[in-house]
């Protein structure tokens, strides 16, 4: 029973982290504008912790990670894992940083996740790889993060024109 619960939790960790980010943003620090609150929590949990988890999994358990995605094990998996760890680290740090810092991290995540999504579509349609972690809920979640981060980033900057001016001024000074 406990082993099954742990297995199910770990298998669904990306979705659980997204849900946790939304719940935390809804309940915590309500004096902050909604767009910034949701952006911060999604960066912390859905990008940061998830990126660290995925990266460590790819680096230390590549055979399992490859099999779940439907890929053959490759030395490139280590590189993808390190990229995930790097993204996860800066996304966790972004939680406590300025909107400019969060924007840079979010933009990197948007581009990275969009590229990952395209790669998974290519694998599905060219190589008939319809494994659940290649062309299933995880892909839908990745696309949802691209959309959510894009909307939240736009809304946060739209809401904070004075912060944009101040941060731009500091960068030039």
What total of structural domains would you count in the chain?
1
pLDDT in tens, 11-40: 789 999 999 999 999 999 778 899 999 999
Cβ neighbours of residue 49 under 8 Å, at least 6 residues apart?
17, 88, 92
pLDDT at 114: 97
pLDDT band at 157 (very low <50, low <70, confident <90, very high): very high
Confidence check: pLDDT of 10 > 50: yes
Q: 134 and 118 in contact (C-beta within 8 Å)?
A: no
Give the structural domain span for 84.
Answer: 2-172
pLDDT band at 165 (very low <50, low <70, confident <90, very high): low
At 169, is the pLDDT very low, low, confident or very high (cuts 50, 70, 90)? very low
Write out pLDDT tens, residues 91-150: 999 999 999 999 999 999 999 999 999 999 998 999 888 888 888 888 999 999 999 999
Supply the angle between the helices 161-172 and 99-127 in degrees, to the nearest 10: 100
Q: 16 to each of 12, 24, 32, 72, 145, how far by Cα in Å? A: 6, 12, 24, 27, 13
């Amino acid at each position: 029973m406990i082993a099954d619960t742990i297995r199910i939790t770990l298998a669904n960790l990306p979705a659980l982290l997204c849900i946790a980010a939304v719940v935390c943003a809804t309940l915590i620090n309500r004096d902050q504008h909604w767009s910034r609150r949701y952006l911060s929590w999604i960066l912390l949990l859905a990008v940061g912790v998830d990126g660290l988890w995925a990266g460590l999994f790819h680096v230390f358990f590549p055979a399992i990670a490859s099999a779940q995605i439907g890929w053959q094990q490759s030395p490139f998996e280590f590189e993808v894992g390190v990229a995930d760890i790097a993204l996860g680290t800066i996304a966790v740090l972004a939680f406590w940083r300025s909107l400019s810092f969060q924007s840079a991290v979010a933009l990197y995540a948007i581009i990275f996740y969009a590229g990952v999504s395209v790669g998974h579509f290519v694998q599905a349609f060219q190589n008939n790889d319809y494994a659940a972690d290649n062309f299933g809920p995880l892909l839908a979640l990745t696309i949802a993060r691209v959309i959510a981060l894009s909307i939240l980033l736009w809304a946060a900057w739209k809401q904070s024109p004075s912060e944009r001016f101040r941060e731009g001024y500091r960068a030039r000074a």
